[in-house]
Structure 1
């Protein structure tokens, strides 16, 4: 049985039974997390003021909050904006969960449009006044290799590296980087050193986003865009911490998550051993 959870800002989320993690930070709130860790860090407000359309890649559709809040924010800044959104998602049951949520009033109209779409095999499409949404279901490692196009923003929102390790590898970040415009921003809630090191290894410039609902800064990455800088403290951690080791998949991105995690742990152990003997 899925467990619905009320979060700190009053909005609801669910506990995912496969990963045993909530879809959102309960301490920040589902709406608050979407706004402050994804939508605003990806500069959707600025993009909507400066453009007629925005192309968003959403990795981990989840309960749809990131998309709904992006539409809400974009329309506030430009009533004529049109968002073209491509989401990848593993679990088709997310739509059953969305229908059980007590949604915030400000998102109800957008969710009505999101839920008015249709399924065709492993794809769901919905069109609203200001957006066109396509959700493709399956293994993101396979799906992202087949996608073409250049995105203005990336919401990178899988479950945590601890339980969804295969989604946080250098290989995945390189694949996503190839789908981004040079000025585009990728935003993720993760504060993991392994994730940040992986983004750097993949060729990104990374930065930090002010904490929401916790002490840790979340992460943004870009090829050549404008993002907040890293702190000196974080630069030192990324350079010197024995835990600043990225996750690696194989070239085909088919390694089991437990192997990816085991390889990562071996590298960390090597670093710790070297540190003790120095």
Structure 2
């Protein structure tokens, strides 16, 4: 009989105190064999010989030694500008649909996703006489502060209509700090041939769904007639013969382009 006043030792505690190896029990029950005495850790990597151990430091500097004998390649910037990678994160751009309407709907998701708080958006309501984008709203105010922007691309991922993308333009410099706050007119994509400057009505018989699906491929005669009636001197009308250009960059974008061009001219050889 066991003594009721004697407490049993915790399981495994006595084995650790005495140095004995406790038995390992598999999940299905039963016992497994204990390892043999002196059977410790064995590395699966074969040991190196004396020569390999002596040359190990040289092998560690192999990359450094190989680059020391290679010719030095210097990019002659700004005389020679090397093209960027296709997915380079450069200046932002607000895109348009093929008929000229803006893709931005003023949802402000890009501003919420920006970790640097560099984007500010205010939405406006579309009306029959002022239709800037498909649907109910458009981006009335759109600002990007390039003094804060870290070019992470999270704003592009958050945009539901692919209105905001990033170009390969990396020369962003200006004479003033305020000049690096780009407004909507600085970010809008240039008007291509066949596009009409907004505002103008949507394509007859369509909704914003057809625009999002890419079913609108260009302007219609009804849209051209509406713009000709309300803005007869619009330079985007077919057959326009005036002096006003179809599209001009905003003041901040123009100042940045002029500064970059002047720096390129001064630094070119």
Q: Which has the higher contact order (CA 8 A, sep 6+)?
A: 2
Report if TM-score (shorter chain) is over 0.5.
no
Query: Rg: which structure is higher?
Result: 2
Using the size of structure 2 for normalisation, the TM-score is 0.22
Higher helix share: 1
